[in-house]
Structure 1
Amino acid sequence: MNTELLVALIAVAIVVLGAGISFLVANRKRELPPPDVMDELTEREIEHPELAPVDLEEVEELEAGVAEDHLTPTIERPETPKGRLGRLRSRLSRSQSSLGRGLLTLLGGGDLTEDQWEEIEDTLLAADVGVGPTTELVTNLRARLAAEGVKDPARAREVLREELIGLVGPSLDRQLHTTGDEALPGVVLVVGVNGTGKTTTVGRLARVLVAEERSVLLGAADTFRAAAADQLETWGSRVGVPVVRSHEGADPASVGFETVKQGITDAVDVVLIDTAGRLHTKSGLMDELGKVKRVVEKQAPVTEVLLVIDATTGQNGLTQARVFGEVVDVTGIVLTKLDGTAKGGIVIAVQRELGVPVKYVGLGEGPDDLAPFDAEEFVDALLD
């Protein structure tokens, strides 16, 4: 009996051992590629050294170099403002020429009938010149053309140009005031409603100042939109300008205060502060804007308050201008998207509404598509 049990155990052991050996052989075969594939891999490593094992120290050095490149962004050199005027004028003339063509076609035809004078008025009103300025322009044109007996189209164009330039206001102070008193930085507060291109305008203004070799500090006081601060940092990083920001929902006045404080410490030339876009119909938000200005001025006087207006908004833009002018002392206007509309008369209307000049105009989507406004350049573009 014992012998039979021993034989049975030996038989089981042989079966288990055989199964184990078979399992190991099968797995070994699955893990290793066939001999011809192994030969192919060896040949490919010889023909293509990049497939051979790499030096780990070399890889680490390369990775460090790539990381350093990412941490050191390329600083751009913005185009000088003077260099932009000619290029931007051509864009303006293409988009605004319908107004000039309409006026010149009517005036160049000799004696005008009452219906034609009414058509001139309609053309000006459609271009958002405004009722008051339109009446003034038509009255002056009728008087001059009649007194001089103008029938030559070239002379009619010259008279129209002179009257339009006078209406736009060539003597208005369009300089951007960015110099503070007693070694303090100039402080520029940029205000406006959402969607006018306010934050983009701040970024473009930074480029204008950098092109003029001024040191700049940006303040992201639009704390209601985290994206606004991110956007401002992107603009600043491209030209090497730092940004002061806080967390979303922080007190905008506090951010403005800290920005000017740092600007004084760092002895920068100009501090640009981007404020939250405010609906002109919301009195609480408008009051808060007044608070931002008061708190900022505890550090240094505000040298400029720029109101950004979308040129395509027409009469709504005038309403915005009126309300903002009641809350803060607006000193200048930036008209954006002027290339996307044939309503160039908004320049005249908004200046009349606020009694302050248009100082900059945005005429495109590029980073340097912001130029100082020039009355003669603007009128020549209209009539080009």
Structure 2
Amino acid sequence: MGLFNKIKKLNIFSGLFSVDEDFFEELEESLILSDMGMETTLEAVETLRERVKERKIKEPEEVKACLREILVEMLAVGEPGLDLSGKPAVILMIGVNGVGKTTTIGKLANRLKADGNRVLLAAGDTFRAAAAEQLSVWAERAQVEIVKHEEGSDPAAVVFDAMNAARARRVDVVLVDTAGRLHNKQNLMNELNKIRRVIDREGESSSKEVLLVLDATTGQNGLIQAKQFSQSAGITGIVLTKLDGTAKGGVVLAIAKEMGVPVKYVGLGEGIDDLQPFDPAAFAEALV
């Protein structure tokens, strides 16, 4: 099961079973408990019912393989990688408090640098005490440059300066940190919209990615977060963190189905190398 060997598994497959109505009902319950959500679960189980009938499946391993196939299909939305074609490419990192945004930026900076990119960090979280210092530590670890202002500064001004510095220094990728904000606080979401407008104005030819960092233990609230943040900044991908615990992470299937937004990366630990590209097949294998 590789990367996702600690993910919460569907207990329905832990022993022998018959492919009958009781099995499908129990599967529905297990998928809902994995945070997939009601609508996504019902669609997955109904598709499984149809394929089991069509293919005359009776063996447990064949049912598992069929369910994995369906889950992978549901996750096959959007583009899996990052678009870095227009220089400087900009990656805006957003999310609520405590999801591991700053840590994720440090890990992503390290990956991009290892791939041969010149990377610049923009310390757009000017509210949290020592946020810029924390990002500076990650910049040093990843050996990348950073633009930061005083605590309490206008985050949009930091982004403006970072974009100008990126052009002057021929930077390949600008990674923008932002303050953690509750998705239901309109003034903070308006500020995020302002940051996005600065990026669009200053980076006309830039490729742009907006990555929502989600805690895998968030459950269905993650779908609500995704919808709200998408309205303010647009979302091109998800980074799912804290999958190294007892997380279930099924909410990404609901987000993929309802919003067409793919998971780009998963965080599997605290180390600088513990950010990995998302593998739908491995994720489905681990869940099942």
Q: Return the letter of the residue paired with 1:175.
A: G
Greater gyration radius: 1
**Corresponding residue number in structure 1 for 2:133:** 230
Secondary structure in structure 1 of the residue aligned to 2:235: coil
Displacement, 1:147? 2.8
**Corresponding residue number in structure 2 for 1:14:** none
Superposed CA deviations along residues 260-308 of structure 1, whole A, max 9, x for unmatched, are 1100000011011101111111101100110011123222146111111
Displacement, 1:210? 0.9
The question of 1:111 aligning with 2:12 is answered no
Secondary structure in structure 2 of the residue aligned to 1:291: helix
**Corresponding residue number in structure 2 for 1:157:** 64
Partner of residue 256 from structure 1, selected from 159, 163, 185:
159
Uncovered stretches (5+) of structure 1, i.e. residues with no partner? 1-88
The question of 1:293 aligning with 2:205 is answered no
> Under a length normalisation based on structure 2, what TM-score does the superposition of the two structures give?
0.94
Q: Return the letter of the residue paired with 1:185.
A: P
1:120 and 1:379 map into 2 onto residues whose CA distance is 14
Supply the RMSD in Å over aligned alpha carbons. Answer: 1.7
The question of 1:173 aligning with 2:76 is answered no
**Corresponding residue number in structure 1 for 2:234:** 329
The question of 1:92 aligning with 2:4 is answered yes
Q: Return the letter of the residue paired with 1:129.
A: M
**Corresponding residue number in structure 1 for 2:115:** 212
Superposed CA deviations along residues 32-71 of structure 1, whole A, max 9, x for unmatched, are xxxxxxxxxxxxxxxxxxxxxxxxxxxxxxxxxxxxxxxx
Displacement, 1:105? 4.3
Secondary structure in structure 2 of the residue aligned to 1:175: coil
Q: Percent identity?
A: 49
Superposed CA deviations along residues 177-209 of structure 1, whole A, max 9, x for unmatched, are 1221xxx31011111111111111111110110
Secondary structure in structure 2 of the residue aligned to 1:313: coil
User: Given the superposition, is the C-alpha separation of residues 153 and 115 from structure 1 closer, same or farther in structure 2, using an over 3 Å criterion?
Assistant: closer
Secondary structure in structure 2 of the residue aligned to 1:272: strand
Secondary structure in structure 1 of the residue aligned to 2:174: strand
Contact 1:221 1:253 in 2 (8 A): yes
2:279 and 2:90 map into 1 onto residues whose CA distance is 23
2:249 and 2:97 map into 1 onto residues whose CA distance is 21
For CA contacts below 8 A with separation 6 or more, give which structure has more relative contact order: 2
**Corresponding residue number in structure 1 for 2:178:** 275
User: Given the superposition, is the C-alpha separation of residues 132 and 234 from structure 1 closer, same or farther in structure 2, using an over 3 Å criterion?
Assistant: same
Secondary structure in structure 2 of the residue aligned to 1:267: coil
1:377 and 1:105 map into 2 onto residues whose CA distance is 18
Contact 1:185 1:300 in 2 (8 A): yes
**Corresponding residue number in structure 2 for 1:196:** 99
Aligned pair count reads 286
**119-128 or 340-349, larger mean C-alpha shift:** 340-349
> Under a length normalisation based on structure 1, what TM-score does the superposition of the two structures give?
0.71
Displacement, 1:365? 1.6
**Corresponding residue number in structure 1 for 2:214:** 309
1:157 and 1:120 map into 2 onto residues whose CA distance is 11
Normalized per residue, which structure has more helix?
1
Displacement, 1:351? 1.9
Secondary structure in structure 1 of the residue aligned to 2:102: helix
Superposed CA deviations along residues 99-143 of structure 1, whole A, max 9, x for unmatched, are 2xx24347x52331x333211111000001111211111111112
Secondary structure in structure 1 of the residue aligned to 2:248: coil
Normalized per residue, which structure has more strand?
2
Contact 2:17 2:23 in 1 (8 A): no
Superposed CA deviations along residues 141-186 of structure 1, whole A, max 9, x for unmatched, are 11222233322222222222212211222x5311111221xxx310
